[in-house]
Homo-oligomer: A and B are copies of this chain.
Amino acid sequence: MYDRSEHVWDAVLQIRSHAPLVHNITNYVVMNTTANALLAIGASPVMAHAEQEVEDMVNIASALVINIGTLNEEWTKSMFMAARKAKQKGIPVILDPVGAGATPYRTRTARQLLDAVSPSIIRANASETMALVTEGKLTKGVDSTAASDHALDAARILSDQFGSVVCVSGEKDYIIAGKRMIVVGNGHSMMTRVTGLGCTASALCGAFAAVGSDLADSTAYAMAVMGIAGEIAAARAAGPGSMQMQFLDALYGLSFEDIDQHLKLTTVSP
């Protein structure tokens, strides 16, 4: 029987052999580290944001990752152009709505991106996920439900509304696709002390979606690989500085045994 670990490993091998070009329109803070993570897993990163070229770059890319971490008007305009082109071309579009909920501008822009392009995958933390849902739809029942359930409700609403796979990341990662749910239990608390590992997760979702056939599985495999590399790195790290270095080394050196020993991935039947 072909088990889960073998599927994850197969996806890694696909990335390593095809080196899919992942086009990132992302934030300044993480450009270097996400490019390095994509290279470490075996993909080919490119960063390009000028309106004069984003459509041409999408045209040669296998996935588009949009991240609003340091957005402004110029970059947002290019995100819309690139995302529309990617949908038209049929390559996966991953949206990371960094900081949605923190300022009205971020929330508004993230929602406009949702409306305009119905991303293939949305990867966000719990509060960002909730911020993406129009108030009226979610606030019913605030008193009776816990915050984490709340984020899952929001994820289901977003998945239904936009046909997107929604990954709510946190101590556990919940991947919602319509009535399907996959739970990934990998990861390490030290990962929260390294800036941009959430953004890196979104970039890896792009790499896995580029070579995969099922968006929910690809998202789950990307999150599992992130978490496993994080666990391996944390075991070798003395703090967040060495963590960042060990994480790239772990991604690069990832073996079937690493996956098989660490994988915590569960499909929850609807």
Query: Which residues of chain A have a CB within 8 Å of any CB of chain B?
Result: 27-33, 35-36, 39-40, 45-53, 56-57, 60, 69-74, 99, 102-106, 192-196, 237-242, 244-253
Contact = CB atoms under 8 A, between A and B. Distances in A.
- A104, A242, A250: most-surrounded residue (chain B CB, <10 A): A242
A49 B36 contact: no
A240 B40 contact: yes
B40 A29 contact: no
A40 B73 contact: no
Contact of A39 (B46, B69, B193, B248): B193
A103 B239 contact: no
A195 B73 contact: no
27 contacts: A27-B47, A28-B28, A28-B47, A29-B47, A30-B32, A36-B240, A36-B244, A39-B195, A39-B240, A40-B239, A40-B240, A50-B72, A50-B105, A51-B72, A52-B72, A52-B73, A56-B103, A56-B104, A56-B105, A72-B74, A238-B253, A239-B248, A241-B244, A241-B245, A241-B248, A242-B249, A245-B245
